[in-house]
Amino acid sequence: MGIISTVRTSCRDCYKCVRHCPVKAIRINLSHAEIVEERCIQDGRCVLICPQGAKHVRDDLPVAKELLSQGKRVVASLAPSFVAAFPDVSPGQMVSALKRLGFHAVRETAEGAEWVTREHLHLLHEGRTNLISSACPAINNLIRRYFPELLENLAPCVSPMVAHARLLHEEDPESKVVFIGPCIAKKGEREEPEVAEEVAVALTFVELKNWLREEGIEPASLEEAEFDPSRCGWARSFPVEGGLLQSASLTCDLLSREVIVITGIERAKQFLQELKEKKVDFRLVEMMACEGGCIDGPVLRSSLSFYERRNRVLTYTEEYEKRSMCEGASCYDPPSLRRTFSPQPVENPPVPEEELRKILALTGKFTPQDELNCGACGYDTCREKAQAVYYGMAEAEMCIPFMRAKAESFSSFLIAVTPNGIVLVDEELRIVDMNPALRRMLELTGKLVVGKRVDEFFDSSPFVEVLRTKKAVTREFHYPQHHDLFVQVSVFYLEKPRLLMGVFIDLTREKEQEETMQKMREKTLEKAQQVINNQMRVAQEIASLLGETTAETKVLLGKLMRILRGEEVSDE
């Protein structure tokens, strides 16, 4: 599984992640958003803005727990922005909480930041110009994938996270380092071949909060504890915009006219494009993906405002700088902090104009005037979306205005041609619209009905009931004045437009057929009764004749029996 993935059952076709992704690394497939790993720079904005919480960040807690369960010497490298992520917890209480989880030692990532700032300064002393800081992995991903020709401008220096891990391994080669911070991109950085295995696990503050909750640890209730030997000063301000300049190891006078600070991916993209076109000239640019710096990281999740977070980090920096156990980072020799960055260019070959026109035509855009460029699909222009469709990153059906117009057109067509009558009524029982079929039923063709009350034309009782109960009603009505019209009326309440819809089904023919069948039944019954009566009369006559004959036969047989017995028989 990738570092960021989509929970398909929660993805609701809103395209918000596409709109906010600065590099459009999200593919829409069967109406669901998918993160394309080879395009993603892992800035995490999609995670932050998804209204349905459908973006999932890979959970690395099981790996960290496994390390601790093995009894290894595991060191927590804690990013200084933790004071903004845990506003109700003091630094000392956070140290206690991490040690409760089982960490052998708790150190500050700012130790590595001290050396990173020094390394950037060394590069400037070597004569480098137009140098881009390499502390932010999301910015590094942006350059490697979308501006690979500018890799030579990227400082060949590791990030504070990796620098700290190397420093810790210098002290104890057997130790395992778990980084904890506000950045999703750190998870991807630790897996890069150039720095692989330096950091064992990269956790986010969200994962740390979940871990503490699972273990039933409330940091705010713990006693204070000290960080293990700390060798950092102003580098604790590294997560704040311009923090690299504020670090104690930098000489601001040397760089004051030639250092640029840029935060936010959009501004970074614009600057890199200008640098690519050789429109800018500088010594060093500190570039960070999150606007305002790491204190606005996608998984920092703080109740504090941006300015409150900034103040907490700066206050923490000022207070703890005085308590550092070593003056600056010059008390021991560090390992090499250099690294290389390999290009990973995203291929976007030119799209033939003919193909673009075909794709645009799928959504009814045949001329430039048809291109609305509304951005609802997530792309700034219709042509950009068409290019994305060509690359397999988008679907033609993502054009919301076109699909809406299509749906409305189809609905209008159905309403116009259906044999059933349809009327829309507002909550004041005034007619908003009436289709041709109902006009014909009620003999209103050519008459003005919109805006008039429904009771002027038909029984309003079902509309009144639905307006009161908001429940559908079905009834039958007879309108003798309209050619003996019989109708079945079903009324529904449409919540969003706050309208009542009545559907009239003409039952006149059925009623006529029913009356005809009733008359036929009555005539058939009458005829059947006549036949029965005739049959009964004949049967009675036959029975009468048979009765007389039977009596005479009985008398004669009686006489015969008496004669045979020798009895006297009279002639009567």
Instruction: Please give the mean pLDDT across all residues of the chain.
Output: 87
Architecture of domain 418-506: 2-Layer Sandwich (3.30)
Residue from 158, 300, 321 nearest 234 by CA: 321
Share of the chain above pLDDT 70, in %: 88
Residue 522 pLDDT: 75
Q: Taking a C-beta distance cutoff of 8 angstroms, is the pair 32, 8 a contact?
A: yes
Residue from 564, 12, 20, 572 nearest 291 by CA: 20
Cα of first residue to Cα of last residue in the chain, in angstroms, is 123
- Which of 475 and 516 is assigned the larger pLDDT? 475
CA 550 to each of CA 362, 544, 545, 564: distance values in angstroms, whole numbers, following the listed order:
98, 10, 9, 21
Q: Taking a C-beta distance cutoff of 8 angstroms, is the pair 364, 10 a contact?
A: no
Sign of CA dihedral 449, 450, 451, 454: positive
- Enter the tokens of residue 303: 């109740």
Which residues are within 8 A (CB) of 396 and not within 5 positions of it... i.e. 6 or more apart?
359, 362, 363, 389
239 φ/ψ sector (left φ>0, alpha ψ -120 to 50, else beta): alpha
Confidence of residue 248 (pLDDT cuts 50, 70, 90): very low
β-pair partners for 157: 338
- Enter the tokens of residue 513: 């057929």
Mean pLDDT across 145-160:
96
Sign of CA dihedral 313, 319, 324, 327: positive
Which residues are within 8 A (CB) of 247 and not within 5 positions of it... i.e. 6 or more apart?
113, 114, 117, 233, 234, 235, 237, 238
Phi and psi at residue 200, to the nearest 5°: -70, -45
- β-pairing verdict for 201-204 and 485-494: unpaired
**548 pLDDT above the threshold of 50:** yes
**167 pLDDT above the threshold of 90:** yes
- Enter the tokens of residue 241: 């915009």
CA 533 to each of CA 523, 524, 569: distance values in angstroms, whole numbers, following the listed order:
15, 14, 45
- Enter the tokens of residue 115: 């050396």
**557 pLDDT above the threshold of 80:** no
| Alpha carbon of residue 544 to chain centroid | 94
Rounded Cα distance, 62 and 32, in Å:
28
Confidence of residue 556 (pLDDT cuts 50, 70, 90): low
pLDDT digit string (tens) for 220-234?
Answer: 999 999 988 766 667
Q: Could you give the 3-state DSSP secondary structure of residue 216?
A: coil
- Enter the tokens of residue 327: 């003056």
**365 pLDDT above the threshold of 80:** yes
Q: Taking a C-beta distance cutoff of 8 angstroms, is the pair 325, 229 a contact?
A: yes
Rounded Cα distance, 108 and 99, in Å:
14
Q: Taking a C-beta distance cutoff of 8 angstroms, is the pair 345, 148 a contact?
A: yes
- Enter the tokens of residue 485: 């019209």
Residue 4 pLDDT: 95
Domain edges within the chain: 59-321, 348-404, 418-506, 521-572
Indicate the DSSP class of residue 329.
Answer: T
Phi and psi at residue 385, to the nearest 5°: -65, -40
Radius of gyration of the chain (CA): 44
Mean pLDDT across 142-167:
96
Which residue is it, tokens 């999200």? Answer: 26
CA 462 to each of CA 14, 36, 323, 499, 501: distance values in angstroms, whole numbers, following the listed order:
37, 54, 79, 14, 11
**538 pLDDT above the threshold of 80:** no
Least reliable range by pLDDT among 227-236, 360-369, 446-455: 227-236
Which residue is it, tokens 């369960």? Answer: 69
- Enter the tokens of residue 331: 């008390």
Mean pLDDT across 400-406:
79
Q: How crowded is residue 429: how many other Cβ atoms within 10 Å of its Cβ? A: 15
For the entire predicted model, the pTM comes to: 0.73
- Enter the tokens of residue 152: 């030579």
**249 pLDDT above the threshold of 60:** no
Residue 1 pLDDT: 67
**331 pLDDT above the threshold of 90:** no
Rounded Cα distance, 65 and 68, in Å:
5
Sign of CA dihedral 502, 505, 507, 508: positive
Which residue type does 449 have? V
Confidence of residue 253 (pLDDT cuts 50, 70, 90): very low
Confidence of residue 282 (pLDDT cuts 50, 70, 90): confident
Residue 394 pLDDT: 93
Mean pLDDT across 284-298:
91
**251 pLDDT above the threshold of 60:** no
- β-pairing verdict for 201-204 and 176-181: parallel
Mean pLDDT across 196-225:
95
Residue-wise DSSP of 73-129: -EEEEE-TTHHHH-TTS-HHHHHHHHHHHT-SEEEETHHHHHHHHHHHHHHHHTT--
Report helix angle 265-276 to 137-146, nearest 10. 40
